[in-house]
Amino acid sequence: MVEKSAQEPKKTKKKKIKFTTPELMSEAMERLRSWQADRKADLTCPNCGAPGVKIKDRSARPHSEWYAFKCTACGLDDAIHIPMASHRPPA
């Protein structure tokens, strides 16, 4: 057993992680698809890989879909926006 007590607690405000790279965005999309398939599934963070990332459906239907991601481990806090294809202007 190894105990590491040398780690100092960080007092600085945690930086919020955003989906700034295409890689991170596609990782997040994968999580979103798994979550949509099974909302009770255990998901890992698209950024740091820690379990327990939270996804929240904040969609404003029928115009667009919003899915907010939150990870307490790394500070990920952003949302994916998906414009809905069914929203079409009247012909």
Cis amide bond preceding 46, omega within 30: no
Stretch of residues binding Zn ion (CB under 5 A), selected from 5-13, 32-40, 54-62, 74-82: 74-82
Among 28, 32, 43, 45, the residue binding Zn ion under the rule CB under 5 A is: 45
Q: How many residues does the chain have?
A: 91
Residue-wise DSSP of 18-70 = ---SHHHHHHHHHHHHHHHH-TTS--B-TTT--B--EEEE--BTTTEEEEEEE
Query: Any contact of residue 24 with Zn ion (CB under 5 A)?
Result: no
Binding mask 47-66 for Zn ion (x = CB under 5 A): xx-x----------------
Does residue 43 bind Zn ion (CB under 5 A)?
no
Which residues of the shown chain bind Zn ion in the complex (CB under 5 A)? 45, 47-48, 50, 71, 73-74, 76
